[in-house]
Amino acid sequence: MVCYDFSDYNINKDLSNIFRKMGAIYEFLDDKFRSLAYYKAADILEDLPDDVRNYILNGKLYSIRGIGQGIATKIEEYVETGKIQKYEELKNLVPEEFIELMDLKGIGPKTLKRLYDELGISTKDELVKALKDVERGSDNFLKINLNISLSLFKMGDYEKALFVLENGLNSFKG
């Protein structure tokens, strides 16, 4: 296989991130099959030993185990255009900030869907407000508070992380 040096730009990582987000959106939309396919493609791209563009140049893209024709076509589209039309369409099917919220550890697409459906939450600020207002005292509430606080901290939102953590801990003080 002929290999070119594309070290100036890690397209595998970009594609992996996009496919992971597509997987999360499909999971949010209850499409388990597509969700799993995109999560798997993200993992495969992360683990590829070479830049995916080398596979395209050598006619080997369609031979990567676990990458089907549909996803391979999207990889080619991204390499050619810098975007994936289906991803752009999917982003319009969920509230805009959900893409960012899907990165919160401890709050996956299923939990976000439930928060959206049951409480109308679609932004980080609405999520923090709901945690402040929610009935206090349950173990589940404390666990959710701790997970969200940790995620907000990792995202650099220290003030909100501390607020959420204090709110969760205070719920057990009475």
109-119 pLDDT tens trace: 777 777 777 66
pTM here? 0.71
Mean pLDDT of 46-69: 94
pLDDT at 33 over 80: yes
Can you state the angle between helices 139-154 and 158-170, rounded to 10 degrees?
170
Q: Is the dihedral of CA 103, 171, 129, 134 positive or negative?
A: positive
Structure tokens belonging to residue 114: 């439930």
Question: What does the pLDDT look like over 142-167, one tens digit per residue?
Answer: 566 666 776 776 677 667 766 766 66
Between CA 168 and CA 56 the distance in angstroms is 50
- Residue 150 burial (CB count, 10 A): 16
Residue 71 burial (CB < 10 Å; 0-12/13-18/19+)? buried
**In which band, very low, low, confident or very high, does the pLDDT at 140 lie, cut at 50, 70 and 90?**
low
pLDDT, average across residues 4-24: 85
Average pLDDT score, the chain: 80
- Mean pLDDT for 16-34 is 93
Residue intervals in the chain for CATH 1.10.150.110: 11-91
What is the spatial distance between Cα 23 and Cα 26, in angstroms, rounded to a whole number?
Answer: 5
The CB density around residue 61, as the number of other CB atoms within 10 Å, is: 20
Q: What is the CATH number of domain 11-91?
A: 1.10.150.110
What's the whole-number mean pLDDT along residues 65-88? 96
Of 86, 90, 6, 3, the residue nearest 75 (C-alpha): 86
